[in-house]
Amino acid sequence: MQAWVIGNWKQNPATSHDVNALLDDLLTAIEATEQANSEVTARCQLMVAPSFIHLTAVSARLKGTSVLCAAQDISAHSASVGAYTGDCSAQQIADAGATWTILGHSERRQYHQESYDSLLQKVTHALMQDLGVVFCIGETQAQYDDQQTLEVIDSQLSVIKSLLAQQQELIDSLSTRLIIAYEPVWAIGTGKVPTVAEVSATHQHIKQSVAGVAESLSAITVLYGGSVNADNADIFAADAMIDGALVGGASLKAESFLAIATAFSKGSI
Ligand code: PEP
């Protein structure tokens, strides 16, 4: 199965100049990696998600390369153009050249109070514009301590389940257009990680739960996210339930991003 390694650049880098420098490094590192081992990018799909402001430039530079470009969010009010200050619609995102979007990242849930309703709108609009969706779920530290991980995940996955119940015609396209990223909130940017056994069990639960709604989704891609770096990627990549990684901090350096991709390309054999 093909692995996926996705870089969530968040509100980085600070300037267009720095974005170009990161892309220069990334494309040079990919070329060097492909020359040394052409299997890496064949076995591991790479994607990066820059800020809205950099989306057009980044997607233009990535055209014709093996790296896909995603947005970090879309507007819940994507049905039409109009008076939604500060928002970017799914259509605008697709027009800017992105082919995927991250949705439901814990920082959006925390700082922008993203609700079940707004996420249902966002996922629906993304798919209507043919954007693939990387749907993020995960528990907080308190929920982890209270052993509520699976309950929290089931509740967050209800967005996807409702969508499928309402729009059966989406099921076929979802098998290639939906990725679930399991990201424990307490592991994001903290250097703390769950054990591989914990991640593996949670991923198994996610896969079974999604397959319970539609058998065609039984092979859904489930990524782990939270403090993945060049040093620990191997142990996650070795587990059959972990199909790749959503990477924050370590995606801002081409070298560590490519090291993670290399680990998952070996894990996918
Ligand atoms: C993220 O924010 O999606 C993430 C996984 O961040 P980090 O890799 O920095 O923990």
Reported as a single tens digit per residue, the pLDDT across 52-92 is: 999 999 999 999 999 999 999 999 999 889 999 999 999 99
Q: Is residue 8 within 6 Å of ligand 1 at its C-beta? A: yes
Q: Which atom of ligand 1 is nearest to the CA of 228?
A: 8
- Cβ-based neighbours of 219, under 8 Å, separated by 6 or more: 1, 175
**Strand intervals (E) in 55-206:** 67-71, 100-103, 132-137, 178-182
- Spatial contact of 48 and 7, defined as CB atoms under 8 Å apart: yes
| CATH superfamily placement of domain 3-267 | Aldolase class I (3.20.20.70)
Q: Is residue 193 within 6 Å of ligand 1 at its C-beta? A: no
Among 107, 114, 183, 205, which one carries the catalytic annotation? 183
pLDDT at 125 over 80: yes
Alpha-carbon distance of 1 to 126, in angstroms, equals 25
- Spatial contact of 132 and 100, defined as CB atoms under 8 Å apart: yes
Is residue 215 packed enough to be buried (19+ CB in 10 Å), middle (13-18) or exposed (0-12)? exposed
Among 105, 125, 203, 205, which one carries the catalytic annotation? 105
Q: Which atom of ligand 1 is nearest to the CA of 10?
A: 2
- This prediction's pTM: 0.97
For the chain, first and last CA: distance in Å?
A: 8
pLDDT at 167 over 90: no
SS3 content of the chain, % helix, strand, coil (to 5): 55, 15, 30
17 catalytically annotated: no
Alpha-carbon distance of 199 to 223, in angstroms, equals 10
What is residue 113's DSSP assignment? -
Q: Is residue 227 within 6 Å of ligand 1 at its C-beta? A: yes
- Six token digits for residue 37: 């081992």
Measure 185 CA to ligand 1 centroid, in angstroms: 9
Segment among 45-54, 141-150, 216-225 with least mean pLDDT: 216-225
Mean pLDDT across 16-21: 98
Percentage of the chain exceeding pLDDT 70:
99
pLDDT at 111 over 80: yes
Closest alpha carbon to 245 in 58, 43, 46, 34: 46
> The dihedral of CA 3, 129, 175, 149: what is its sign?
positive
Domain ranges of the chain: 3-267
Mean pLDDT across 120-144: 97
Q: Is residue 249 within 6 Å of ligand 1 at its C-beta? A: yes
Segment among 39-53, 58-72, 204-218 with least mean pLDDT: 204-218
- Six token digits for residue 38: 């052409």
Band (pLDDT 50/70/90 cuts) for residue 269 is low
105 catalytically annotated: yes
> The dihedral of CA 30, 49, 137, 124: what is its sign?
negative
